[in-house]
Amino acid sequence: MGNGTSIGRVRGLGPAKEGTHHWWHQRLTAGANLVLMIWFVVSVALLPAYDFETVRHWMGQTQVAVPLILLVASTFYHFRLGLQVVIEDYQHDETHIVLMILLNFFTLAAGTTAIFSILKIAFSAGAAL
Amino acid sequence: MAASITHRVTGSGMATVGTLLFVWWLVALASGPAAYGLFLDVFTVKSGALNVVGYIFGIGLTLSFFQHMSSGIRHLFLDQGANFELKANKTTAQLTYVAAIVLTAAFWAFIIWGKTNG
């Protein structure tokens, strides 16, 4: 850190060596979620019906599948960060570590399953079911 | 105070219940008509209208979403250092509930009555 100013010598020297990325990513994904979720809610509301063929045909389009995958990535990362804060605020013993591991597993498993399903629908669009 | 805990409760609810239902919907849709039919049967009656379970989860999740969204927008302003005056702070907190209820009602009114073919 050299012999710079007082603030320069202590900046970044907290126990985590950094501290703003969690906060910033939560805001960044919040903005992305706002746009993507409004698109999703409006698109779903505008669907003529909710039967298998209608919804599947809708999701099979590239211009639906791509934003939907982005929505999964952004919202799932956002809730992963948000639930971390909830866990950290209310769990102070070892269960905190166990819950964080479970949260990471849950987020990755759910996210992978969601994206795989969307891709499967998009890649088989037009094919005989 | 209340707006803060509501933000956490709605966020946690969507992250758990909302995520599981969303992923189930996607998996069912990817699996085929039988799996999708099972998903629809849990939340709707034969005519396609929502049943009691459908109303509880449908309204619960949309109300949570619109509340969390309104509250989240308010938070983004607070992050800029704005809106910390007590009166405005309280008014906007209450407005998030009004916005959530109005948007949820508008969403379901459109879904139920807004379609041209009923």
ipTM comes to 0.93
Residues on chain A touching B32 (C-beta within 8 angstroms): 52, 129
Q: Do A113 and B23 touch (CB under 8 A)?
A: yes
Q: Do A83 and B12 touch (CB under 8 A)?
A: yes
Chain segment A17-68, per-residue pLDDT in tens: 666 889 999 999 999 999 999 999 999 999 999 999 999 999 999 999 999 9
Selected for mutation to probe chain B from A20, A23, A41 (highest B CB count within 10 Å) is: A41
Residues on chain A touching B12 (C-beta within 8 angstroms): 82-83, 86
In angstroms, what CA-CA distances link A33 with A13, A68, A126, B73? 32, 11, 30, 11
A47-53: Cβ within 8 A, 24+ apart: A48/B115, A48/B117, A49/B48, A50/B40, A50/B48, A51/B40, A51/B48, A52/B29, A52/B32, A52/B33, A52/B36, A52/B37
Residues on chain A touching B117 (C-beta within 8 angstroms): 48
B2 touches chain A (CB under 8 A): no
Please state the pTM of the whole predicted model: 0.90
Residues 41-80 of B with CB under 8 A from A: 48, 62, 65, 69, 72-73, 75-76, 79
Chain segment A91-121, per-residue pLDDT in tens: 988 999 999 999 999 999 999 999 999 999 9
